[in-house]
Amino acid sequence: MDYNYNYNKPGVSTKKKFVAALVIAFVVLLAINVAMFAVFSSTLKALIEGDIDTAAEQLEEMLDGKIDGAMSDRLTTTISEQIAESLVDEISQSATLAVMDTVTDELIDNYKREYNLPENYAGIGVIVAAEVGSVLELEATGNLNAPYQNQTTSSQSSAFIINTDGYVITNAHCVTYEAGIYEYNSWLVRQIGSETKVYTSIMANFKGSTQQYEMEVVAYDVDKDLAVIKFVTPPANLQPVVFGDSDLLSLGEEVAAIGNAQGLGISLTTGVVSNPPQAYQDVKVIQTDTTINPGNSGGPLFNIYGEFIGVVSFKIIESELNEGLGFAIASNSVKEYIESVETQKSITINYLEP
């Protein structure tokens, strides 16, 4: 299905002002460097002239008086000016290269991300709605252990596509469950522990579609609460998310979550970053006030650029009177997890970045 939400608004002039200011700052910096090097060259030129005077005297002695004082002065002046100019040119070029190396595209992009809205900004809800085709509704079922082997357990959650090869990210608890281990003693059955099992059936569908796709688990990490799953038969024209840099998130920045809330189908909610990424167990998590309900787990959290910046993971309810705390595993932690899966499984899992 093609979810393409177009929006058109005038461009933000702040960005143009920023670019103009950056160009002016660069020119001013270069002018200051040239001025400093001019002063430096004058001093250097005087030192060089002194050394050349000495060299000229030595040369005159060697030539046994065959050059007069006027020729010696011209020779001294010409050589010193050429050397000084050459040095100034080299230093100026080095300074220019140093400034260019510092003012990189990445630095400019990060500055723009921190202080400017994206072009044609029409509200985060409209921007993130364009990513709904990247999100999946998951339905998983599994069998319990004896003596309850005839009973099943199930869950409804969310996931999102990361490349056109059919790889998908979700939470580990969306594709696994805890099954009891039991001990039999005559007529008495006693649970002595539990084990983590992968759901025997994991099916996915897109928003508003009844067509289901079979999924397989590639890897999962219960401690990180992350899992990589994959379409058994990937459909054509998959729409992967673009990975953003979660370290660039600021307090109060707008974010939006898409997920299968309460198992009622894909929906979108908005909020802000209540706390930028902080260490939690083996990952970093983002705290948000975005409305998160059961079923949102495994779904993506997006920034104002429509970039994926977190996996909705869990919700802590402090009491019956407050709304609780919503959390998402930071996208940079997800990148690290993907790299570890690539190493463990000897596979390549590509993903898009800005």
pLDDT one digit per residue (tens) for the chain, 354 residues? 444 444 443 444 455 555 555 556 665 666 666 566 666 666 666 666 666 667 666 666 665 555 556 665 666 666 666 666 666 666 667 666 666 666 666 665 665 555 566 666 778 888 888 899 999 999 999 888 767 667 888 889 999 999 999 999 999 999 998 888 878 777 777 778 888 889 999 999 999 899 999 999 999 999 999 999 999 999 999 999 999 999 999 898 999 999 998 888 899 999 999 999 999 888 999 999 998 888 899 999 999 999 999 999 865 544 454 566 789 999 999 999 999 999 999 999 999 998
Q: What is the pLDDT of residue 281?
A: 84
Q: Which of 134, 155, 158, 225 is catalytic?
A: 225
Q: What is the pLDDT of residue 273?
A: 93
CB 204 within 8 A of CB 213: yes
User: CA 240, 241, 245, 249: dihedral to nearest 10 degrees?
Assistant: -170
* 64 is annotated as an active-site residue: no
Domain 134-231 matches domain 246-345 at the CATH topology level: yes
Which pTM value belongs to this model?
0.67
State how far the Cα of 106 lies from the Cα of 114, in Å rounded to an integer: 12
State how far the Cα of 33 lies from the Cα of 239, in Å rounded to an integer: 49
Residue 346: CB atoms within 10 A of its CB come to: 6
Q: What is the pLDDT of residue 81?
A: 66
Residue-range domain boundaries for the chain? 13-115, 134-231, 246-345
Q: What is the pLDDT of residue 193?
A: 81
3-state secondary structure 271-290: EEEEEEEEEECCEEEEEECC
Q: What is the pLDDT of residue 221?
A: 94
At the top level of CATH, the class of 134-231 is: mainly beta
Q: Which fold has domain 246-345?
A: Thrombin, subunit H (2.40.10)
Q: Which of 157, 173, 245, 313 is catalytic?
A: 173
Q: What is the pLDDT of residue 145?
A: 72
* 297 is annotated as an active-site residue: yes
What DSSP string runs through 10-28? Answer: PPPHHHHHHHHHHHHHHHH
Q: Which of 297, 313, 331, 333 is catalytic?
A: 297
* 2 is annotated as an active-site residue: no
